[in-house]
Structure 1
Amino acid sequence: MSEELAGMVAIVTGGASGIGRGIVERFLAEGAKVMIGDVQDELGSSVADAGGDDALFCHTDVGDQAQVCALVGAAVERFGGLHVMVNNAGRSSPLKKGLFDEDFAEFDSVMRTNVLGVMAGTRDAARHMAQHGGGSIINISSIGGILAGGGVATYRASKAAVIQFSKSAAIELAHYGVRVNCLAPGNIPTPILRSSATEEDREKLDRFEARIRQTMRDDRPLKREGTADDVAEAALYFATDRSRYVTGTVLPVDGGTVAGKVMAPRTPR
């Protein structure tokens, strides 16, 4: 590793597993000190323990603004500053058979985690960064917030909201040297897909997940599987000075899925 983040402090919400854990591990490897915020205490503590003195876990429900504020304060107190904020924590909405069967019972909790958590994290991080030379805020959306599709309607709406909010925040915070960008992962195997299954689906989970994953593969131009490391690499770019003139952008990390339909391969001439 090149130690690109040496001397920097980062917060990663939802850092106990999946994409968040991949970002935490990459940032630590690049020399950052990382505060991990998550509701999964055992997993979060394990990730922090593996990071040694450069990592700390703080139980954080990002849907609670007071806890988000406390997370930012804890990072500044423990490590002496804050340079990078990754608002990654998120959850899916239940996968229903169709819109007619949707009761939106999970609407408030999904929006509170996926949207309010990002908004509060951006605000609280920016308050510190604006007074200390700027910084980078990285909000994790999804290709589900870019591409329309059936199912998980609340999740898609929440991730679209993250994109619009991030662009608006980027405009407002640019004056203070605070950059705000979005990553939109797609087709990355993480536990969030499993959480979208209903109780009925969980009984047939293997077939359910295999079917969804195959559909994702069929829609993806690049045929290799994406990983949390791929998203972490993109997050590293936004965290470093390499992206010093980049703000208000949305970067899909999806093997080309949002670019367009897959074409049949042709033999080069």
Structure 2
Amino acid sequence: MANELDGRVAVVTGGASGIGRGIVERFAAEGAKVVIADVQDELGEALASQAGPDALFHHTDVGDQEQIGELVATAVERFGALDVMVNNAGISSPLRRGLFTEDLTEFDRVMRVNLLSVMAGTRDAGRYMAEHGGGSIINLSSIGGIQAGGGVPVYRASKAAILHFTKCAAIELAHYDIRVNCIAPGNIPTPILQSSATGEDRERLERFEARIRAQMRDDRPLKRDGTPEDVAEAALYLATERSRYVTGIVLPVEGGTIAGKVMARKAGSEIPANGAPS
């Protein structure tokens, strides 16, 4: 299909880089008018210029509720509507050596950016959509919000809360024909993993990231790395009429990791000609 979002207006928070950028590019390619919200001005302006006249960069600190409201108002003022709201912006909490060394100093900041922004973005976009025929709200969580694990507990808690909030909002806003869904990416190479390792020099940071990526690869059934484009395809589905009867779901995009651990294949267990494992 082509131009699935022709005439639609979308906002993507954290849209200047990583997964957000992938979503912006996919939406623009499908004909959407896109507002890119981010604090990375240079990257955001460059992406808006690249995407053409139907894209606008708006500097937005999503941890500030007032700026979220201004973002929604800007989209409506500039493009005359708001059909799709993608609450994607997020940050990681620092990776420390165990829970006992966690001082939780980043708690307020991580919760503001990761959770408060999603709640405020859903609320403010929903207010407009409720009076204008409905719409689609897509919240970005993480595999870390579904699957328990050690490290970055504040980040994991914030992403888990997004899952529950999304379902609650989906129930409440269905009356207004507003669909609220969640995507939970995992194993997607983006700068957010690097930001969790504070106080590391570049060489140690690269080794740390390589080790984490290798572990992720070993644990998932699909061995190729995911990409922002993979997440963007999921967002496109949830933004379009193809998902008009879908709300309140959590869609993992993570290569099958949460399905379970990969079983080691023994030598000689290749599939024989009759199709049955030997």
Shorter chain as normaliser: what TM range? over 0.9
Aligned-pair distance for 1:198? 1.5
Question: Secondary structure of 2:53's match?
Answer: helix
> How far apart are the structure 1 equivalents of 2:2 and 2:123?
30
> How far apart are the structure 1 equivalents of 2:239 and 2:5?
8
Instruction: Report the equivalent of 1:255.
Output: 255
Aligned-pair distance for 1:256? 0.2
Instruction: Report the equivalent of 2:44.
Output: 44
Aligned-pair distance for 1:264? 2.8
> How far apart are the structure 2 equivalents of 1:8 and 1:200?
43
> How far apart are the structure 1 equivalents of 2:80 and 2:263?
51
TM-score, with structure 2 as normaliser: 0.95
Aligned-pair distance for 1:196? 0.3
Deviates most, 94-103 or 198-207:
198-207
1:87-124 deviations in whole A, cap 9, x for unaligned? 00000000001001000000000000000000000000
Aligned-pair distance for 1:52? 1.1
> How far apart are the structure 2 equivalents of 1:201 and 1:110?
23
> How far apart are the structure 2 equivalents of 1:264 and 1:171?
42
Aligned 8 A contact 1:98 1:151 in 2: yes
Aligned-pair distance for 1:200? 3.4
> How far apart are the structure 2 equivalents of 1:201 and 1:131?
51
Instruction: Report the equivalent of 1:155.
Output: 155
> How far apart are the structure 2 equivalents of 1:200 and 1:49?
34
1:179-217 deviations in whole A, cap 9, x for unaligned? 000000000000000000021365511111111111110
Q: Which amino acid aligns with 1:86?
A: V
Q: Which amino acid aligns with 2:182?
A: C
Instruction: Report the equivalent of 1:105.
Output: 105
Instruction: Report the equivalent of 2:270.
Output: 267
Q: Which amino acid aligns with 2:220?
A: R
Instruction: Report the equivalent of 2:223.
Output: 223
Q: Which runs of 4+ in 1 moved over 6 A?
A: none
Residues 91-240 of structure 1 aligned to structure 2 (within 5 Å):
91-200=91-200, 202=202, 204-240=204-240
Question: Secondary structure of 1:200's match?
Answer: coil
Aligned 8 A contact 1:33 1:79 in 2: yes
Aligned 8 A contact 1:201 1:208 in 2: no
Aligned-pair distance for 1:51? 1.0
| Structure 1 vs Structure 2 CA RMSD | 1.0
Aligned-pair distance for 1:41? 0.4
Q: How many residues align?
A: 269
> How far apart are the structure 2 equivalents of 1:68 and 1:8?
20
1:7-56 deviations in whole A, cap 9, x for unaligned? 10000000000000000000000000000000000000011011111100
Aligned 8 A contact 1:163 1:182 in 2: yes
> How far apart are the structure 1 equivalents of 2:186 and 2:117?
20
> How far apart are the structure 1 equivalents of 2:95 and 2:203?
14
Instruction: Report the equivalent of 1:23.
Output: 23
Instruction: Report the equivalent of 1:90.
Output: 90
Q: Which amino acid aligns with 2:26?
A: R
> How far apart are the structure 2 equivalents of 1:181 and 1:262?
28
Q: Which amino acid aligns with 2:248?
A: G
- Pairing 1:34–2:34 present: yes
Aligned 8 A contact 1:94 1:195 in 2: yes
Q: Which amino acid aligns with 1:66?
A: E
* Identity rate, percent: 75
Instruction: Report the equivalent of 2:56.
Output: 56
Question: Structure 2: any 5+ residue segments left out of the alignment?
Answer: none
Aligned 8 A contact 1:48 1:57 in 2: yes
